[in-house]
A and B are shown apart, each in its own frame.
Chain A
């Protein structure tokens, strides 16, 4: 009798250190295969996962058509979750959403407000309407939402970021029609540059190109939450610290979440690695599956050129208790001014949304192998967008 074959370890494309164990399977590339290309029932990957679990292929939920048109009715609706989506890795069933989704009105429904300051007078009417829509983000017109977002503070700061968007970074946007007009969605982008202007420009871009205007809630590193003033500024602008509860709460609320799955690795990569995606964190895929949200891969071209890092002085970083200590052509030679970005041209490109939840269902979030696999699918898509648009 032949002994059972040991599980083969498959390397994923250009992701050192990552592996996917598939027992009794032929070695095949895990990446480079479109999970939507074939009939889901006969998908060998799904079958193998079922074998791994020791169960038959699970019935897959009926796919729902993606929403691409603005909704007709504006009344808030509550989302009834499926019973399976309430399971949460042994935790109590908390995913049941009883809130109406947070929505902003459409542009033609917004009354043009009077400009509140000189800077706001410089904005055109359409942009001011979009800014006014942000007041609907806080429940009941409250001054702060539950993550500390202040519509008033965002409206005050927006003219500056709008000027950066138009004049300094000269942002060109493509494919923004792929951002879902309503409901939960995850925007997954590459990360680069010392200061997170890629996040800021993406938030401005989404706000300027969606109807109803949507606020992308950028997920920031926990380290940012420890920085004086920065933590308050980020919160008032609508950004949230990347904890599981925060992200799930936003998605359950039907909001748009902007993630940088590379995390700090993307920011501190040196100039030789520019536009090469680093290892991905996978929590965003897990959250998207649980919340049944599509993932929109997107590329921000320009961010890696705004402050090229020559090398990272890790010893100094440890001493100063910071994640990294970069040396750029201008930092630390010019002091804090050296951190400012160069006036590079930005190009923001949105890819086709990936509806993993329709194929795999919310239970797939409990399968770490599948989650890693799907994260690499997103990674591949972003890398392709970067390579095509650089």
Chain B
């Protein structure tokens, strides 16, 4: 086999969103990756201008609404996709507001619909050999306690009363988990905790995602929150890409800090309110259109925390976090959240 054929051609979904962009950039700098085909719903992000202009082109971008069946069929049967000879699909889910706020197929949240369609087309496409899906660690059932250690074997939260935001993560998780171990496709599912980026942005946390501002939380509770840098998410994806292992893997960064600390780091301070008042407050916030994330979150996530046992990812994927998360003084003299190499 020649060196050129050994290069991986990778399709990345939601390549226009912050985490997707980070994954695409990491892959484009990976010498073992040939072409990167990014999908998104917006225009080509400016961060990719340099790669778009490359000759011969290694980066291709296409606008596809992955929650729509017709849109997906058109793309996966297109000549552009066939010519790219994609062998690995990296599924990066969309953000919270898009994941649950926008109906996909027959009222199914967009995040779930996307997961189904991406898996379906990855299975249907003969050239695709691997699927790496990013999922959330909020799928686990949380035992009472400020911090609980969770391994990949821990129970999923299948309670019927799970908030829709978390329910969509669980559905996606089960969709991909169902194909783990299948012969046709190697599936690696990475469960990541709260993702933070330089500048204090928070993703995939049912409480802190969304615009900065006050977040109500029950008084007397300050659950521990496992963090991972977006750069480490990209590193973990690369590790899964180059490994031949399939399965479910917890990945997390070094830091685990209380929710109140993450909130203060990222401009989302907590407002402790008595437990019974919390439901009323979230209803009012939802009615005012100011608390989309809060109104959809149940009490458990606000009371009980978790950290992830990442030994399996270290052992089988060779992933170890490279970045630390903390406060640093920015150029304007203000403290803000930064991620820096460990």
Q: Does B293 contact A (CB under 8 A)?
A: no
Residues A147 and B219 in contact, CB atoms below 8 Å apart:
no
**Chain B, 199-251, CB within 8 A of any chain A CB:** 218-222, 224, 226
Contacting A at CB under 8 A, from B302-339, are 303-305, 307, 309, 311-312, 314-315, 324
Most buried by A among B148, B151, B275: B148
B144 touches A147 (CB 8 A): no
Q: Which of A138-146, A261-269, A277-285 contacts B (4 or more CB under 8 A)?
A: A138-146
- Chain B residues within an 8 Å CB radius of A249: 149, 309
A243-B143 contact, Cβ under 8 Å, with A142-B255, A144-B256, A148-B224: yes
Nearest A residue to B320 by beta-carbon distance? A98
CB-defined A-B contacts under 8 Å, sample of 25: A91-B153, A94-B151, A98-B314, A140-B342, A142-B254, A142-B256, A144-B256, A144-B257, A147-B147, A148-B256, A222-B143, A222-B144, A223-B144, A228-B218, A231-B144, A231-B145, A231-B146, A232-B221, A232-B258, A235-B145, A240-B145, A241-B144, A243-B148, A243-B149, A245-B149
A147 to B309: give the CA distance in the assembly, Å: 11
Of all chain B residues, which has the CB nearest A91?
B153
Chain B residue nearest to A249 (CB atoms) is: B149
B307 contacts A146, C-beta separation under 8 Å: yes
Q: Could you tell me if B146 and A234 are in contact, using CB atoms closer than 8 angstroms?
A: yes
On A, residues with C-beta under 8 Å from B are 91-92, 94, 96-99, 139-140, 142-148, 222-232, 234-236, 240-241, 243, 245-246, 249
B residues near A92, Cβ cutoff 8 Å: 152-153, 312
The docked-state distance in angstroms from the alpha carbon of A229 to that of B258 is: 13
Residues of B within 8 A of A96 (CB): 311, 315
Asked whether, in the complex, the Cβ of B149 is within 8 Å of the Cβ of A146, the reply is yes
Shortest A351–chain B CB gap in Å is 29
Q: Which residues of B contact A97 (CB under 8 A)?
A: 311
Find A94's partner among B146, B219, B311 (CB 8 Å cutoff): B311
* Shortest distance from the beta carbon of A388 to any chain B beta carbon, whole Å: 36
Residues of A within 8 A of B72 (CB): none
Answer yes or no: B127 CB below 8 A from chain A CBs. Answer: no
Q: Is the CB of B148 within 8 A of A99?
A: no
Which residue of chain A lies nearest to B219 when distances are taken between CB atoms in the complex? A228
Knowing A143-B257, A144-B258, A249-B149, the reply to whether A225 touches B307 (Cβ < 8 A) is no
User: With A228-B221, A232-B220 in contact, is A148–B309 under 8 Å at CB?
Assistant: no
Q: List B contacts of A230 (CB < 8 A).
A: 220
Question: Which residues does chain A contribute within 8 Å of B143, judged by CB atoms?
Answer: 222, 225, 241, 243
- Of B147, B255, B275, B311, which contacts A148 at CB under 8 A? B147
Contacts of A99 in B (CB 8 A): 311
> Is B154's beta carbon under 8 Å from chain A?
yes
A226 proximity list for chain B (CB < 8 A): 144, 303
Complex CA distance for A171 and B309, rounded to whole angstroms:
37
Of residues 283 through 299 on chain B, the ones whose CB sits less than 8 Å from some CB of chain A are none
Tell me, yes or no, whether B62 is within 8 Å of chain A by CB: no
Contact A235 B146 (CB under 8 A): yes
Centre residue among B144, B221, B304, B309 by max chain A CB count within 10 A: B144
Asked whether B185 is an interface residue with its Cβ less than 8 Å from the other chain, the reply is: no
* Closest-CB distance, A226 to chain B (whole angstroms): 4
- Not counting A140-B342, A232-B146, a sample of 7 additional A-B residue pairs whose C-beta atoms are within 8 angstroms of each other reads A94-B309, A146-B226, A148-B146, A222-B144, A236-B146, A245-B154, A246-B145
Contact between B220 and A229, CB atoms less than 8 A apart: yes
Question: Footprint of A on B, CB under 8 Å?
Answer: 143-154, 218-222, 224, 226, 254-258, 275, 303-305, 307, 309, 311-312, 314-315, 324, 342
CB distance from B274 to the nearest CB of A (A): 9
Complex: how many Å from CA A332 to CA B56?
Answer: 81
Nearest Cβ on chain A to B292's Cβ, whole angstroms: 26
B149 contacts A232, C-beta separation under 8 Å: no
User: How far is A145 from B146 in the complex, measured between Cα atoms in Å?
Assistant: 12
**Which residues on the B side are within 8 Å of A235 (C-beta)?**
145-147, 224
Residues of chain A with a CB closer than 8 A to B342's CB: 140
Residues of A within 8 A of B221 (CB): 228, 231-232
A36 CB, min distance to chain B CBs, angstroms: 32
Shortest CB distance B227–A (Å): 11
Judge whether B149 and A98 touch: CB under 8 Å.
no
Contacts of A94 in B (CB 8 A): 151-153, 309, 311-312
* Distance in angstroms between the alpha carbons of A341 and B254 in the assembled complex: 40
Give B341 Cβ to nearest chain A Cβ, in Å.
13
Complex Cα gap A311–B256 (Å): 43
In the complex, which residue of chain B has the Cβ closest to the Cβ of A231?
Answer: B146
Closest CB of chain A to B78's CB: distance in Å? 39
Question: How far apart are the CA atoms of A241 and B304 in the complex, in Å?
Answer: 11
Contact between chains at A245 and B145 (CB < 8 Å):
no
Within the assembled complex, what's the spacing in Å between the Cα atoms of A140 and B151?
22
Nearest CB of A to B321, in Å? 11
B144 close to A140 (CB less than 8 A): no
How many angstroms between the C-alpha atoms of A139 and B320 in the bound complex?
14
A241–B220 CB distance below 8 A: no
Q: Report which of A146, A223, A243 forms a contact with B256, defined as CB distance below 8 A.
A: A146
Other-chain contact of B222, A91, A147, A232, A240 (Cβ < 8 Å): A232
Complex partner residue of B145 from A145, A146, A225, A228, CB under 8 angstroms: A225
**Interfacial chain A residues near B153, Cβ < 8 Å:** 91-92, 94
| Residue numbers in B under 8 Å from A228 (CB-CB) | 218-221, 275
Of the listed residues A91, A99, A142, A232, the one surrounded by the most CB atoms of chain B closer than 10 A to its CB is: A232
5 nearest A-B residue pairs (beta carbon): A228-B220, A225-B144, A241-B145, A235-B146, A225-B145
